[in-house]
Chain A
């Protein structure tokens, strides 16, 4: 009997569109739109100006703040604008626009050859920080922050999050099949930086080929590759840790509270590239899929390429999409248009055709309890929508632990009344924070 976590849902994984498509390299954009905020934390400030010539991998925006992620040029060329541009997560954001000179030239000193075995934890974390690596599963939390073990805590285990539990997305799946060596290196480096000897790779068992390849790749490293039950949200950090180690991250706490650090497949590869070759994070693999895409693909694409260019590379639209998503359908964000840059956290671009998203009209809660059964966090989501509807934010926080909600969307998926529970959760959290701030 495989271990599992409580709750969760079983959406159709719809991965067959792209699961067997090898990663293709997308053409370079004519101009790259590179936002200074592609991460959780402090924004970076541009250190280049209009008219400057930049090279691939050159640092173009940075900050002294610890919780932040450096931004690098993803192509070589001329900076033609520094200004507000559309952003897939923030509406608009300050961005540096580089016009492609067609040379695709590396900045000085990149790539290099570095023996990671001789590096200590601090220097590894410094390299990761300089390379601007953030969580590439979509959360975009700066990786070096996660990798820095606080003085009062000890890391005991590293987990590679290869669950890829969001429907449609297959980028991590393909990377495991095609880039296993870099993944192994990335994991080894991360384990060295953390000073841990225990390592795990968690893969949902709907990817048996990836489990096999990873088992072979990690042979002899002491890292355990585990097939996990296919159940959304298996890839949520807390669920993954629970299933693999049996430990529950305390309410309000972080994985480090149970001595665990979790990193995504794409992040491991970025760590490997940065540490062994000095290459900063300027590209990623993302899945372009959905019924409204003519030829769904997994593509390797430079940061700053637009959604439009990526979709065009996949043959354009097969039909008029009803929704465009950045990320997966469970936690991804709906985008109003496709003239948006692909940033570090865009794990997928989905074009959902009419009827594919099955949203339905919200009707009153009938208290059926499906949301409680679906909630992996053991909460009562029905109350979030009922209280949110009546603007009772404090009650939701105090009496029903609103802040424990991870917004995975399992409740909404299960709800027969089609209630927009996550919307009420986000709204209530924001209102509650505003209220708290006003009190201070």
Chain B
């Protein structure tokens, strides 16, 4: 009869597969943090102590809020996975260096508590938390959020503390060039980060290097930054200040928060479409909206709102961009 052994040595059982790759959420998050660090450190070097304060407060408060909410929600504490750290860091990097540092805490609160956990926590948020935090600060303290400092490392020719996009919006392209002395000076300053702007957005070269590393690690798809930045470049060139095809794409591609946005925000896997096809549509839409806001809108810069608006469309894009099934013709 039934001789079902009930011996002492019972082993773990679970559904297959029984081996997994070494990849993990925290590995991804910490790698992204690491790739952002050089540009953030450059921001501190470039803008001074208050920038450091904003970054530190942003990160510490984001991690604290994550811990507190998870405690209240009785969820496992996941502050070690680096995702709250990343939100705090990204938020701080998108804030002006002269902002009263405590406002970063408010921004982190909005980002973590409202944008992330009120939506269900990691993986469930619709909007990029860091950008929601920034947008909330923007409507709460519009003056503080648009006041820019002189840089500690300013080149002699750079007299204005306004961001290049501000100068462009208010005084026009010629004034922008004369601020930097010459067009080539301007490109060089924009490439190296020697300009006014948010703490972590100015140094194009470090941000691109960080982004390339993420592409190499396959943590982000190259199509997203290429399409988003390319779309802005092409559209700003076509619709130039002096008419058709008179724009300065190189300037626009390096200006404002486009580089950091395209490499680090428009690639936030939680809030963008899941297929590459969908991501390309997303990036294209974000590029179009950025250009529209920059050229026609009231704000000098539009990356933040462009990405947030495209975040709304993510579920819809996903719906129409499912992968192609094996064994189905056409």
A residues neighboring B (CB under 8 Å): 6, 9, 11, 81, 83-86, 92, 167, 238, 242, 248-253, 321-325, 329-339, 352, 356-360, 363-370, 372, 375-380, 382, 400-401, 404, 407, 409, 412-418, 420, 422-423, 426
Contacts and interface: CB of A to CB of B under 8 A. Distances in A.
Contacts of B329: 248, 250
A92 B6 CA distance: 13
Contacts of B9: 337-338
A108 B192 CA distance: 88
Interface in B312-326: 322-326
Which of A356, A360, A368, A417 is most buried by chain B, counting CB atoms within 10 A of its CB?
A: A368
B7 A418 contact: no
Q: Is the interface of A mostly helix, strand, loop or mixed?
A: loop
Interface of B: 1-5, 7, 9-25, 27-28, 78, 81, 121-124, 269-270, 274-276, 322-329
Nearest to B12: A323
B16 A84 contact: no
A12 to B, nearest CB: 8
Contact of B15 (A336, A375, A426): A426
Given A83-B3, A334-B12, A382-B274, A404 B326 contact: yes
A359 B28 CA distance: 17
B275 A369 contact: yes
Given A357-B20, A380-B322, 19 more contacts: A6-B326, A9-B21, A11-B19, A86-B5, A322-B11, A336-B10, A336-B11, A339-B5, A339-B7, A363-B78, A367-B123, A407-B16, A409-B16, A413-B21, A414-B23, A416-B21, A416-B23, A422-B16, A422-B17
A377 B326 contact: yes
Contact of B269 (A321, A369, A404, A412): A369
A288 B275 CA distance: 40
A336 B124 contact: no
Contact of A334 (B4, B13, B27, B327): B13
B11 A337 contact: yes
A358 B18 CA distance: 8
Given A83-B3, A323-B12, A380-B323, A370 B23 contact: yes
Contacts of A412: 16-17, 20
B212 to A, nearest CB: 19
B269 A251 contact: no
Top 6 nearest A-B pairs by Cβ distance?
Answer: A409-B17, A364-B123, A423-B15, A334-B13, A251-B327, A416-B23
Nearest to A91: B4
Contacts of A338: 9
Nearest to A11: B19
A368 B144 CA distance: 35
Contacts of B19: 11, 167, 329-330, 356-358, 413
A253 to B, nearest CB: 7
A240 B154 CA distance: 62
Contact of A336 (B2, B13, B326, B327): B13
A239 to B, nearest CB: 9
A404 B15 contact: no
A321 B12 CA distance: 9
